[in-house]
Amino acid sequence: MSTEEGFASLAGKCALVTGAGRGIGRAIALELARAGAWVVCNDIDPRTATETAARIHLEGRGAFPYAADVSDSEAVRRMVQDVVAATGRLDILVNNAGIEPSSPILETPDEMWDRTMNVNLKAVFLTSRAAGQVMRAQGGGAIVNVASIAGVRTPLALRAHYCASKAGVYGFTKACALEFAAHNIRVNCVCPGVIITPMTAKARRTPEIMARWQQEIPLGRLGTPEEVARVVRFLASDEAAYVTGQAYFVDGGKAMH
Ligand code: NAP
């Protein structure tokens, strides 16, 4: 079945998107809803999670907000249980929530390292374990993780903790794809480049950084959250039925070498 736009419909599927309160996560939630999925909009901030779900309702689509810290094991277990209790299934998991604090390695406190690892990496394990159990019982599903080119090819100064966490997401995606294939669960990741979201707002206000980015990015511009969301939608859909364990770079060519 395909949508009006001609791509595979997600009608009848339930998707959980983490960090859906703003930025890339909000765009992914909207994109999946437009393709027909019922979307659970998770965020640590209940206000923004509710705003995203309200936007989806305005378009006549199904969604509900769910506030939870995805680095909290018990909260994740409860969230997945509540989603299945409410919708009866869970077909798509998008691990998008992330933080990017900045600090030189020599000054980085343990707490910053641990928090970054817990939100960006451990949470991906926690949600994949909980959702994977549901998908296995259901007979299949799709997981899409949001990694970063910074974890794989283009490290960032002052963000070693962030780069390490995203390299972990890249590795976890592949190992998870290998294990979950037997349960008909596909697992892929996207590696965004520089995307116009609140996370990059400060750097985008610095003309030297903007000039450098424009020079480094072959397509000559920053990406939009919607451009990442469309690749996530593809990977989550049956159009990508034979794709697993892959990393898709959505970066205007920045990390092509
Ligand atoms: P963003 O604008 O900062 O949005 C991230 C969202 O995640 C926020 O709504 C945030 O809530 C939420 N969040 C943070 N910690 C959470 C937690 N523990 N539990 C649940 N939700 C939590 O970031 P973005 O730019 O859209 O980035 C989304 C993802 O893409 C991240 O994984 C990021 O690393 C990755 N990425 C972004 C870029 C880029 O250029 N923007 C590039 C490569 C990869 P609060 O606002 O309340 O903190």
Tokens 């962030």, located at residue: 162
- pTM as predicted: 0.98
Joined together, the tokens standing for residue 233 give 């939608």
Mean pLDDT over the full length of the chain: 97
**Residue with CA nearest ligand 1 atom 41:** 195
pLDDT value at 135 more than 80: yes
> If you write DSSP's letter for every residue of 162-227 in order, what string do you get?
HHHHHHHHHHHHHHHHHHHGGGTEEEEEEEE-SB-SGGGHHHHT-HHHHHHHHHHSTTSS-B-HHH
| Best CA proximity match to 35, nearest among 17, 65, 62, 58 | 62
Calculate how far, in angstroms, residue 88's C-alpha sits from the geometric centre of ligand 1: 28
Which residue in 30, 55, 50, 51 sits closest to 229, CA to CA?
Answer: 30
Determine which residue's CA is closest to atom 12 belonging to ligand 1.
19
Segment 106-133, tens digit of pLDDT: 999 999 999 999 999 999 999 999 999 9
Domains and their CATH numbers in the chain:
14-197+225-249 (3.40.50.720)
The greatest distance separating any two alpha carbons of the chain, rounded to the nearest whole angstrom, comes to 54
Residue 140 CA, ligand 1 centroid: distance in Å: 27
Flag whether pLDDT at 4 surpasses 90.
no
Ligand 1 centroid to residue 192 C-alpha, Å: 12
C-alpha 90, offset from chain centre: 16
pLDDT at 71: 99
The predicted pLDDT at position 194 comes to: 98
User: Does residue 6 register a pLDDT over 80?
Assistant: no
So what's the pLDDT on residue 237?
A: 98
Binned at pLDDT 50, 70 and 90, residue 1 comes out as low
CA 58, 55, 75, 181 dihedral sign is positive
Q: What is the pLDDT of residue 8?
A: 83
**Model confidence over 13-40: pLDDT tens digits?**
999 999 999 999 999 999 999 999 999 9
Q: Is the pLDDT of residue 60 over 70?
A: yes
Closest C-alpha among 44, 1, 52 to residue 23: 52
